[in-house]
Amino acid sequence: MTDTPPRPDTGPPGEGPDEKATLLAFLDYLRDAVAAKARGLDDARGRTAAVPSGTSLYGLVRHLTAAERYWFVWAFEGADVPHPDLSMRLGPDDGEENLLAAYREAVARSNEIAGACADLSAPCARPAGKDGVVRSMRWVLVHMIEETARHAGHADIIRERLDGAVGR
C-alpha cells in the first residue's frame, strides 16, 4: 500500500509467480484504491455519512483496518490480542493521517503473516466469522479481496458524492 495521490486506474496487477503472490498483488491493488479515495479530504468530509446507512470514507478505512487485524492477526495467527471492533464508528482522533497510518500498519502485518505462510491450505488458529469456522489462509486471502473490493466500490461512490472526484 502506498501513499501516492489518486491517479487514473492502470488496471489490475498481472499474474504473480505463484498463487499467493497473485492473491496478495490483487489485495494490495484494492487496498491502495481504498486508501487513495480517503486521501485529501478535510476531516468533516471524510467523516460525512454519504448514504443513509451512515457509511463514511473514514468509517470504511476504520472497518477495513479492523478486518485486516481480525482475519490475519486474530483468526489466522491466533495472536493474544483483543477481538477487533469491525464497526465503522469513528472516535475523536480518527482523522485521515491516523486512520491511514493504522491501515498501512495493519496491511503490513497482514502481508507479513501471509508471506510467512508456506501452505495456503494452512488453517487459521481460531474459528472465525459468523459461522465460527476454521478457514484456510487461501480462504482468508480471497475473502479479504472480496471484502476490500466491495468497500473500494463504496469508497468510489462516496468520494464522487462528496467532491466529484472520480478515478483511482
Mean pLDDT rounded to a whole number for the chain: 93
Which pTM was predicted? 0.93
Structural domain includes residue 109: yes
Domain count within the chain: 1
Could you tell me if residue 167 is inside a domain? no
- Render pLDDT for 124-168 as a digit per residue (tens, 0 to 9): 999 999 999 999 999 999 999 999 999 999 999 999 999 888 876
Helices (H) then strands (E): counts for the chain: 5, 0
pLDDT bucket at 15, cuts 50 / 70 / 90: confident
Chain centroid offset of residue 147 CA: 7
CA dihedral 43, 47, 51, 57 (to 10 degrees): 80
In a domain, 90, yes or no: yes
Average pLDDT over residues 65-84: 97
Is residue 124 in a domain? Answer: yes
Q: Is residue 128 part of a domain?
A: yes
Q: Is residue 37 part of a domain?
A: yes
Average pLDDT over residues 79-107: 96
Q: Which whole number is the average pLDDT over 105-129? A: 98
CATH number of the domain encompassing residue 31: 1.20.120.450
Q: Closest by alpha carbon to 68, among 93, 35, 40?
A: 35
Instruction: Provide mean pLDDT across the span 26-51.
Output: 94
More confident site: 103 or 52? 103
CA 68 to chain centroid, in Å, comes to 6
Q: Quick check: 1 pLDDT over 80?
A: no
- Full residue range of the structural domain in which residue 57 is found: 19-161
User: Is residue 11 in a domain?
Assistant: no
**Nine cell digits for residue 143:** 475473502
pLDDT value for 16 = 80
CA 151 to CA 138: how far, in whole Å? 20
Position 44 in a domain: yes
